[in-house]
Structure 1
């Protein structure tokens, strides 16, 4: 059975009404300035369907005498509610609102319509001739899609695109994002074959989980570039910006540094594709018609974190005849001041070298112009980027070639290609089968939280925070609680020197307030320090919740101090920060961010994004430390956040690490008010859906949701399937699952799809999956088993799991695509109550359809 997911209109709103309308009406108030602009653009766009208008007259429109699929509302706020209700009564369910519309979400919900806006820039789909925007000029057709909240940013992008010779497949003005938002648009663009690259201008994302899910779907098949204006101004600490970048990274979306970077990335990725194959994608070959230009490019490449490529001897042999007589061959390559067409030939040769990921060809002005028609296309080799300052660049822009005005801009383009290739490689990377199974003592954590709330506290004491970490398997420093200075002195002998004495308070940074004393060696000195500390706390911080003392053995010198923390960002929810720890952590500014949930590969990647990661293998007099223990701790920390969404913030500083492992020395936990829970942007692994199935022959299968670490087992199952079963399942003959497809089948989005895997030992006997439509309430299923599982009832059990999940998710119709000659599957579907009908798009395919009753 195929995994192709076709759009099936449901009741009410249909995505095609918004993005493929055959009839559009403009409801306009002539007194509003937006009305004239919209009427002009809609009338002159060449719309292929029926164009109607009401409220004003304008050439090119018919009267509003028939129902419309899509409405454009340019009315005063007082007139909008009635208009929406009237539209809904005629069957119109999609509305674009480019004007002010207070309470649009409420009005749209009451009327039963979906609305784009308020203050939307509008909607343009040049392939349909639809231009219902506030643009000041015609919108050229091309492969870019723009989703923007700011009309000013949308206008700036349009002006830039015209100058760059680029066009658009869609312009979607999200506006205030009151109703139809980024997720709906991205879901559509993910399946639009005319969209080559997506630009996102984000200001407000309302439904974080839907956004991340849709962004991931779009980024699987094309570059998606995001810009968030105002993120650093809103949070000068940089955490907001870093969390956005982490979120987008998990979705496969590239983050831009600013408007210039955003547009430059779009220009590059719209005209050039990263080279496919192995490697990091960052090896740049530079060729120029002058040594100065080549050196400038080399400097820019290294500043961008790229590598200067070293072509092979065979390539060098082909390049040598292109050099002036007696000219040495060195890389970066300079061909002299009169290179002419030799520059293009050199670029072509470099693009075929397997050690080159991208070629940058730079040409300072010469007497003879260089015709873009003579430019070689890289084909399957490395893409070629051109740098031609001045007027010489214009013909290259017009010819659709990736060309830049400066060496720095060209090498930034090369960096964008490298980043896009890394995203593609990460999406197709198959993680090892190793899974860190976390078996926490969750009841202990719940008891600690309940006790704190019962005492009227949302902040935990340090010993309570350490107990929470210990319950999740994180090693914590040995410590003793003492109510009095005398008790602290008594504990000192059992721990042994050197010792650290801390005030047991609710403060996060105790060292700032004299609540920490180090290098204590004698019980008497511990007692004296405790007496002094108690007096100071009573005098300086009476509100700090002082409740005795915490005595710890002081860590030996030489251990690396890390910091591990969690918080929440308004747009994308809970985050995890990892970096340098200690009292100067904020000054070091060495911290990387990601989102929970984390697995071991993600944990190692998070560690690698910090500067301190270079110290972990050992450096000069520093011994190597246990990176595996750090990654293990990150996964456990992440699981704690998943299991207890009432945690508002969690800070472990320092987390000390050496060759023997990690130990948490201090912890600070803040809880949310009762009843408040955070929602993760990325759904966690749904372990609760797992269970056992006992076959009639007595074999017991573990049936659970699939996870990325199952790639090896999934590939092995495929190799067990007979060729005919493979053809039935994938509608084609394959000897091996390609790694990108294997990654796609195992790294699923639990927010919109589910796949159940049936394991017996380490062997996969069968998989069933279901994918929900982005719009509507239909979903598509597929199932496959190895021959040894047939006749065990496993397929029926897997389908029951799929149907149960679909019902809980609100799916009302399950559809499977079955080859017409796959009689066993057709018979199986009929036995399960599916109705069969031939596909109208392909008569070789049968549709197996079942209407599901809602649960409960």
Structure 2
């Protein structure tokens, strides 16, 4: 398999260090690696002179990594000299002083990287560490412990603080990295590498600004589909989030990412997201040797709507109260041990709570006491917690005695915290991760619906408005526009009085359109409403309504089931409007609800972008105005094989994961080897998520499905995947790398050629210039098929057993 473009940064094969002072990089290297590294120390007057050959670099090869730490004014000279060895990646470390014009230096580094086909981290970066490989490419002297959590930050000081804190709590990392000025290498590109990095099982990010929305959203969705991702982002202003930050939070939710607000919470998230046990619901049982800790944890649980106190079954209550010194108390059903607590009773109490079907996690809060042998209790818990089958998070209050005990629980995989609040918040992080992952799975229905927007009419209407120079739409214009999107007019009648509501489509300069739901008359600001990014389906629309203050204040008790369904249909219609009309600047629709059941329409108004912005919004393929690419339902197509067999071509969806696994398992060994170029019995969990939870902006997977009888359900038909065509955009976004596999029983029926043609048309629609793929030299059937479709069959430069199949889309 070819190396990832960032492998020379994280796992280099050769290293050149250019600095004005000794760096810790060479001292950290393992003995066998010393022969692959070259160091050059510059004096204040030196120009850079490269030796005739560099360690680890064969003649004609490129240097993998150059680590540079010089004063800003010397960087152009150093980079100019380094061009001779064509480094794949350059890390520009902070030299202690900042340039007078940081933007100008960053622009120079970006231009140099493009000219020399290189990647540049920095300038002004604190660098990175890869402890598992003993790589310390940073300004921090101490190499962190090896672990499986990755931390990537926009802040040098935060990176240094994380490393210092981790040493104290004995937490290890796969990667710790500071982005510096992020001139050329983006945090989204780093995410792409970490998502596939076998040494990383969770990712924590600190961002002090939001990069390009589509690129970031795509990278976050791809990474969070296979690994937990947490983001720390601060709030501007007077402690109240701006609307942009609220929209950004919505983007994180939809990407399946957890967002934390405080520095200390980032540490909690790093600890708890390494924990492989996940709560399967919101109910948390508390076990404590005092009521004060319970009250402190309860205050956090009251604020975190994602978790709640568990209600124990009568059998669990009875068994707990039979243990010496234990009683079940409020708030909730907290389990309190106010007298001496034996290690055996503590272990039994945790076991009983974990066995209760209504408990999704257990929070253990213990404080030092003359009546408690805390060390013995810790030993007992260390035996029980890893086998509990549910997440168990502990808090040992105190420091002198408790610190070492917390470490013992951390080492056995039971996250331990210093305060009840941080322990309770750790549970809210796990619950939020589960909630957001469910949101990330929600996309539009798979079938090509009969109520597709009438886009020809929409375009004609907007062209007419543009010719007239009109940006504001009147009532009749708005009604006309909504009709193209099949607005459910039948739901609405005359309503004289009732509850006023409003739905608005608004636009964030960086994140694109979003939907706002709240009470009519509310100011459009965070906290008074709920917002969500399009596209919406009914589940996302429902959650949008239920997150609003209006729901908690009125609608939860007064809104009828029928009226809720009507409101959901309206939201779906406006979501389609936001997706399909990039020229829309804003849209406002006021509603009135009477008796919880009848709805009426109020004011409707809309505005369009300025003419020059409107034209730009329509130009280009796809949904460039949106942060999240909608499900490409226009690609859902029924088809027939040569023998008349009906099948359906459609983009893959997250719920296809098990169908895809069954497809791969049922392939012959030869077909699996031809597709994956190595023996593979089935897809790993991460590969399964990778192929089924795709981001349609960066890739496309088309499946061929047929209806077959299901013996397990009395022969009723079920959908089965019999073919898969997939492409992934190259970094330049001009072309894509493709792969195709057809089930053995469905080969030589014309399915592969039809599926491949569908992928070619989708690539052309996306505006790509070419498709290319690697095919085994011995796969004659596939090579013949692709040549028949217009591909060039070329030799593969790095491997004689492979062929390179290439198609110029602009010539079709």
TM-score, length-normalised on structure 2? Answer: 0.80
The answer on whether the counterparts of 2:729 and 2:736 sit within 8 Å (CA) in structure 1 is yes
Structure 2, gaps ≥5 residues long? 55-62, 100-104, 618-623, 708-717
2:270 aligned with 1:266, yes or no? yes
TM-superposed CA distance for 1:17, in Å, is 1.2
One of 575, 578, 587 as aligned partner of 1:650 = 587
One of 797, 801, 805 as aligned partner of 1:850 = 805
What is the alpha-carbon distance in structure 1 between the residues aligned to residue 308 and residue 160 of structure 2? 37
2:423 aligned with 1:410, yes or no? yes
Match of residue 278 from structure 2:
275
TM-superposed CA distance for 1:753, in Å, is 2.1
What is the alpha-carbon distance in structure 2 between the residues aligned to residue 618 and residue 233 of structure 1? 33
TM-superposed CA distance for 1:76, in Å, is 4.0
Q: Call closer, same or farther: CA 1:386–1:707 in 2, change over 3 Å.
A: closer
Match of residue 668 from structure 1:
606
TM-superposed CA distance for 1:113, in Å, is 2.0
2:754 aligned with 1:768, yes or no? no
The answer on whether the counterparts of 1:304 and 1:411 sit within 8 Å (CA) in structure 2 is no
**Tell me, what secondary structure is at the counterpart of 1:681?**
coil
What is the alpha-carbon distance in structure 2 between the residues aligned to residue 235 and residue 566 of structure 1? 26
2:51 aligned with 1:112, yes or no? no
Q: Call closer, same or farther: CA 1:433–1:850 in 2, change over 3 Å.
A: closer
TM-superposed CA distance for 1:596, in Å, is 2.1
What is the alpha-carbon distance in structure 2 between the residues aligned to residue 580 and residue 755 of structure 1? 37
Match of residue 204 from structure 2:
199
2:586 aligned with 1:640, yes or no? no
After superposition, residues 739-754 of structure 1 pair within 5 angstroms as 746-754=692-700
The answer on whether the counterparts of 2:64 and 2:88 sit within 8 Å (CA) in structure 1 is yes
CA deviations on 1:792-836 (whole Å, 9 max, x unpaired) are 311221123335556864565313689x9x998899789888989
CA deviations on 1:293-319 (whole Å, 9 max, x unpaired) are 334434543343322223445655654
One of 11, 21, 27 as aligned partner of 1:44 = 27
Q: Call closer, same or farther: CA 1:830–1:119 in 2, change over 3 Å.
A: same
Match of residue 715 from structure 2:
none
Aligned Cα root-mean-square deviation (Å): 4.3
Q: Call closer, same or farther: CA 1:348–1:155 in 2, change over 3 Å.
A: same
Structure 1, gaps ≥5 residues long? 1-5, 31-35, 479-551
Match of residue 324 from structure 1:
325
2:477 aligned with 1:464, yes or no? yes
One of 8, 11, 24 as aligned partner of 1:17 = 8
Match of residue 531 from structure 2:
593
What is the alpha-carbon distance in structure 2 between the residues aligned to residue 201 and residue 588 of structure 1? 22
Match of residue 440 from structure 1:
453
What is the alpha-carbon distance in structure 1 between the residues aligned to residue 125 and residue 607 of structure 2? 42
Q: Call closer, same or farther: CA 1:733–1:181 in 2, change over 3 Å.
A: closer
One of 673, 678, 685 as aligned partner of 2:631 = 685
Match of residue 392 from structure 1:
401
**Tell me, what secondary structure is at the counterpart of 2:757?**
helix
CA deviations on 1:60-96 (whole Å, 9 max, x unpaired) are xx98553431112333444433433432331212111
One of 477, 482, 506 as aligned partner of 1:567 = 506
What is the alpha-carbon distance in structure 2 between the residues aligned to residue 149 and residue 328 of structure 1? 47
One of 545, 550, 566 as aligned partner of 1:612 = 550
The answer on whether the counterparts of 1:98 and 1:121 sit within 8 Å (CA) in structure 2 is yes
What number of residue pairs does the alignment pair up?
A: 744
The answer on whether the counterparts of 1:96 and 1:122 sit within 8 Å (CA) in structure 2 is yes
2:359 aligned with 1:356, yes or no? yes
What is the alpha-carbon distance in structure 2 between the residues aligned to residue 434 and residue 702 of structure 1? 10
Match of residue 337 from structure 1:
339
The answer on whether the counterparts of 1:22 and 1:69 sit within 8 Å (CA) in structure 2 is yes
The answer on whether the counterparts of 2:226 and 2:690 sit within 8 Å (CA) in structure 1 is no
Match of residue 60 from structure 2:
none
TM-superposed CA distance for 1:152, in Å, is 2.2
Q: Call closer, same or farther: CA 1:164–1:756 in 2, change over 3 Å.
A: same
TM-superposed CA distance for 1:668, in Å, is 2.5
Q: Call closer, same or farther: CA 1:116–1:449 in 2, change over 3 Å.
A: same
The answer on whether the counterparts of 2:771 and 2:807 sit within 8 Å (CA) in structure 1 is yes
TM-superposed CA distance for 1:189, in Å, is 0.6
**Tell me, what secondary structure is at the counterpart of 2:453?**
coil
What is the alpha-carbon distance in structure 1 between the residues aligned to residue 299 and residue 77 of structure 2? 63
CA deviations on 1:635-663 (whole Å, 9 max, x unpaired) are 22222222221222323334768635664
Match of residue 387 from structure 2:
379
Match of residue 801 from structure 1:
758
What is the alpha-carbon distance in structure 1 between the residues aligned to residue 253 and residue 217 of structure 2? 10
What is the alpha-carbon distance in structure 1 between the residues aligned to residue 251 and residue 85 of structure 2? 41
What is the alpha-carbon distance in structure 2 between the residues aligned to residue 644 and residue 269 of structure 1? 39
What is the alpha-carbon distance in structure 2 between the residues aligned to residue 477 and residue 825 of structure 1? 53
TM-superposed CA distance for 1:602, in Å, is 2.2
What is the alpha-carbon distance in structure 1 between the residues aligned to residue 462 and residue 358 of structure 2? 56
**Tell me, what secondary structure is at the counterpart of 2:140?**
coil
* Residue range with higher mean Cα deviation, 755-764 or 149-158: 755-764
Match of residue 488 from structure 1:
none
The answer on whether the counterparts of 1:781 and 1:814 sit within 8 Å (CA) in structure 2 is yes
Match of residue 370 from structure 1:
375
The answer on whether the counterparts of 1:71 and 1:96 sit within 8 Å (CA) in structure 2 is yes
TM-superposed CA distance for 1:365, in Å, is 0.8
Match of residue 481 from structure 1:
none
CA deviations on 1:168-217 (whole Å, 9 max, x unpaired) are 21122222222110111111111112223211112334432222222122
What is the alpha-carbon distance in structure 1 between the residues aligned to residue 269 and residue 450 of structure 2? 40
Match of residue 772 from structure 2:
813
Q: Call closer, same or farther: CA 1:828–1:706 in 2, change over 3 Å.
A: same
* Residue range with higher mean Cα deviation, 627-636 or 585-594: 585-594
Which structure has the larger Rg over C-alpha atoms?
Answer: 1
What is the alpha-carbon distance in structure 2 between the residues aligned to residue 413 and residue 477 of structure 1? 47
TM-superposed CA distance for 1:357, in Å, is 1.9
The answer on whether the counterparts of 1:41 and 1:131 sit within 8 Å (CA) in structure 2 is yes
What is the alpha-carbon distance in structure 1 between the residues aligned to residue 684 and residue 145 of structure 2? 37
**Tell me, what secondary structure is at the counterpart of 1:779?**
strand
* Residue range with higher mean Cα deviation, 639-648 or 753-762: 753-762
TM-superposed CA distance for 1:441, in Å, is 3.6
TM-superposed CA distance for 1:442, in Å, is 3.2
The answer on whether the counterparts of 1:24 and 1:52 sit within 8 Å (CA) in structure 2 is yes
After superposition, residues 509-520 of structure 1 pair within 5 angstroms as none
TM-score, length-normalised on structure 1? Answer: 0.76
TM-superposed CA distance for 1:410, in Å, is 1.2
